[in-house]
Amino acid sequence: MQTTIYEQYTVPQLIRLFSIPAILSLLVELLTSIVDTAFAGHLPNQADQALAAMGLLTPLFTVFVAIQTLFAVSTAVLISTNLAKRDWQRPLQLGVHATILLGVITSLITFLCMTPIFNQLQLTGEVASLAKDYLLILLFSHVFSSIGYTLTSVIRAFGHPKVEMTIISLAVVINITSNAYFTFGLNLGIKGIALGTLLSEVVCSLLAFIYLKRKKQWYRYTDYTWKERFHTTYALLKIGIAQTIIQALGGMTAWLVNKQLQTFGTTQTIGAWNIANKVYIFCLMPIVGITQAIQTILAYFHGQRNLQKKRLVIRTTLQWTTIYSVLLIVIFFLFGQNVLQLLTNDEQLLREGQSILNIIFITLPLTGFAYTVMTQLQVTEQELQAVGIGLTRQIFAMLPLIYLLPILVHTFALPFSQTEAIFLAIPFADFLTAIVAYVFIRKQGLFSFSKQMIYNKEK
C-alpha cells in the first residue's frame, strides 16, 4: 500500500514542506500591495495623497483577502484529505467554481456600492479621486487574485510546492517590473500601479491553470446533484469560515483606526500607518502561512487519531513562530527606519512609521500563539471556539480600545499622544486574546508529550 506524504517525513519536515508555499501564496497578495505602496510613496507631487488613498482603502482590501482565503485554503485541505482515495475531483471543481463566483460577486457589489463605501471610508477630494482610479482596476485584479490563490493552493495540495513557489515568484517579478513601466515609464501614476498588479495576478492564474491541465490534475466537469453540491460546499465553508471571519473583522478594525486617525491625526499620520501596517501584515504572513499549512497536517493526524503527532505539530509550530516573532521585534526596534525607507523617503513619514512599528510589533509572539490555537480548534471540530478567539481580538478588545484609549490618554494626561493611544490598542488586544486562547486550549494537554518525538519518523 502506498504511503502518504504525511508518513514519509518527520513533523518538522512536514511543517517546512507545507509552510513555505503556503507563506508564499499569502505573501504574493501582500507583496504586490507593498510594492504598490512603495511606488505610491514615490509618486511626484502625489505621494501623500496616494498613500492616504491606499491607506483608507485598506479595510476593503482586508475583506478581499479574507474572501480569497475562504475557498483557497479549504479546497486544498479537502483535496489533501481525499488524495489517497483519489476522490479529489468534486472538491476541486466545486472549490474553483465557488472561488470564481464569489470573486465576481464581491467585485460587482463593490462597484455598485462604491459611493456609500467611499462615504463610510471618508474618502473625499483628490484622495477619493485617486482611490477610485486605483480601485476600479483592482476590482478585476481581485477576481484573478482569488483564482490564482486557490489554484496555487491546489498545486501545493497535490504535492508540488516547488512549482507553486516558481509561479508565485514569477508573478511578483512581473508585478514589480510592470509597476515600474506603467507608473513611471508611461506616466500613468496610480492607475499604472493598479495595472501592474492586475497583470501579475492574471499571469499567476494562467500559469497555475496550465500546469494543472498538463499534469492531468484538473477536473472533468461533472453535473453533481444538489445534495452532492451542498455537502461539499458546506464542508469547504466549514473549514474556511473561521479564518475568513477573523480576517474580515480585521477590515472593520482597520476602518475604525482610519476614522480615529482622521479625528486625532493628520493625512501624514494616515500615510505612516498605511506604510507601517503594510510592513506588519507582511511580517505576520509567515505566521498565518504556517498555521494555515498545518491545518492539512493536523487534519490528517486528527483523522488517524494520532494525538501525539498532533501535539507535536502544535508544539513545533509554537516554537518556530515565537523565535521568528522575537527576531522581528529586535530587527524593527534596531533597523525599522531602514526597512521603511524601501517604501518612502519622506522624513516625517519615516519618524511616525518607526514609532508605530515599535508599538504594534511588541506582542507579535502572542499573535502566533493565538493563530496556532485557532488552527487546532478548527481541525478538531471546535470552529465556534476558534471564531470566539477572533471575535475576542477584533470585536470585544480591539474596537473598544481603539475608541477609548485616546479619550483616556487625554483625560488622565498619560505620557502618550492620542494617535499613539490608537496603536496601543493592538498590543493590549493581543494580550487579552492570548489569555482567551490559553483558556480554550489548556484542557487539550498541549505540552504533555515526549520531546524525543520531534526526531522520530512515523513508519
Gyration radius from the chain CA atoms: 22
**Choice between 16 and 157, residue whose per-residue pLDDT is larger:** 16
pTM for this structure?
0.73
Helix axes 125-157, 89-112, angle to 10 degrees: 180
Long-range contacts: 401-406, Cβ < 8 Å, 24+? Answer: 401/425, 401/428, 401/429, 402/253, 402/256, 402/257, 402/260, 403/256, 403/260, 406/260, 406/264
Least confident stretch, 279-283, 327-331, 401-405: 279-283
450 pLDDT exceeds 60?
A: no
Q: Over the stretch 13-60, which tens digit does the pLDDT of each residue have?
A: 888 888 887 787 677 666 666 777 778 877 777 777 888 888 788 778
When pLDDT is cut at 50, 70 and 90, the band that residue 446 belongs to is low
- Cα–Cα distance measured from residue 260 to residue 298, given in angstroms and rounded to the nearest whole number: 40
- Cα–Cα distance measured from residue 274 to residue 280, given in angstroms and rounded to the nearest whole number: 10
Closest CA to 155 of 315, 280, 300, 18: 18
When pLDDT is cut at 50, 70 and 90, the band that residue 190 belongs to is confident
- Cα–Cα distance measured from residue 353 to residue 351, given in angstroms and rounded to the nearest whole number: 5
The DSSP result for 25-84, as a single string, is HHHHHHHHHHHHHHHHTT-TTTHHHHHHHHHHTHHHHHHHHHHHHHHHHHHHHHHHHHTT
Closest CA to 287 of 315, 321, 253: 321
Count Cβ atoms below 10 Å from residue 216 Cβ, excluding itself.
7
Q: Mean per-residue pLDDT for 163-182?
A: 86
- Cα–Cα distance measured from residue 85 to residue 124, given in angstroms and rounded to the nearest whole number: 55
Q: Is the separation of the CB atoms in 358 and 397 below 8 Å?
A: no
Q: What's the grid cell of residue 115?
A: 459611493
Q: Over the stretch 335-384, which tens digit does the pLDDT of each residue have?
A: 888 888 887 788 888 888 899 999 999 999 999 999 888 888 877 767 77
CA distance readout (Å), 35 to 54, 78, 156, 350:
12, 33, 25, 17
Q: Over the stretch 270-283, which tens digit does the pLDDT of each residue have?
A: 888 878 888 888 88
When pLDDT is cut at 50, 70 and 90, the band that residue 324 belongs to is very high
Q: What is the reported pLDDT for 325?
A: 94
Tell the burial category of 44 from Cβ atoms under 10 Å away from its Cβ (0-12, 13-18, 19+): exposed
DSSP-assigned letter for residue 444:
G
When pLDDT is cut at 50, 70 and 90, the band that residue 98 belongs to is very high
Q: What's the grid cell of residue 204?
A: 499567476
When pLDDT is cut at 50, 70 and 90, the band that residue 4 belongs to is low
Q: What is the reported pLDDT for 30?
A: 67
Helix axes 226-264, 267-303, angle to 10 degrees: 150
Q: What is the reported pLDDT for 451?
A: 44
69 pLDDT exceeds 80?
A: yes
In the chain, the percentage of residues whose pLDDT exceeds 70 is 91
Q: Is the separation of the CB atoms in 240 and 70 below 8 Å?
A: yes
End-to-end CA distance of the chain: 13
- Cα–Cα distance measured from residue 402 to residue 411, given in angstroms and rounded to the nearest whole number: 15
131 pLDDT exceeds 70?
A: yes
CA distance readout (Å), 224 to 118, 151, 213, 240, 450:
41, 21, 21, 22, 47
Q: Mean per-residue pLDDT for 376-396?
A: 80
Closest CA to 376 of 321, 302, 287, 451: 302
Cell 515526549, residue located: 450
- Cα–Cα distance measured from residue 347 to residue 136, given in angstroms and rounded to the nearest whole number: 31
**Choice between 328 and 26, residue whose per-residue pLDDT is larger:** 328
In the chain, the percentage of residues whose pLDDT exceeds 90 is 25
Q: What is the reported pLDDT for 348?
A: 85
452 pLDDT exceeds 50?
A: no
CA distance readout (Å), 242 to 55, 374, 391:
25, 8, 10
Q: Mean per-residue pLDDT for 415-438?
A: 91
When pLDDT is cut at 50, 70 and 90, the band that residue 151 belongs to is very high
Q: What is the reported pLDDT for 444?
A: 62
Q: Is the separation of the CB atoms in 408 and 421 below 8 Å?
A: yes
- Cα–Cα distance measured from residue 379 to residue 348, given in angstroms and rounded to the nearest whole number: 46
DSSP-assigned letter for residue 181:
I
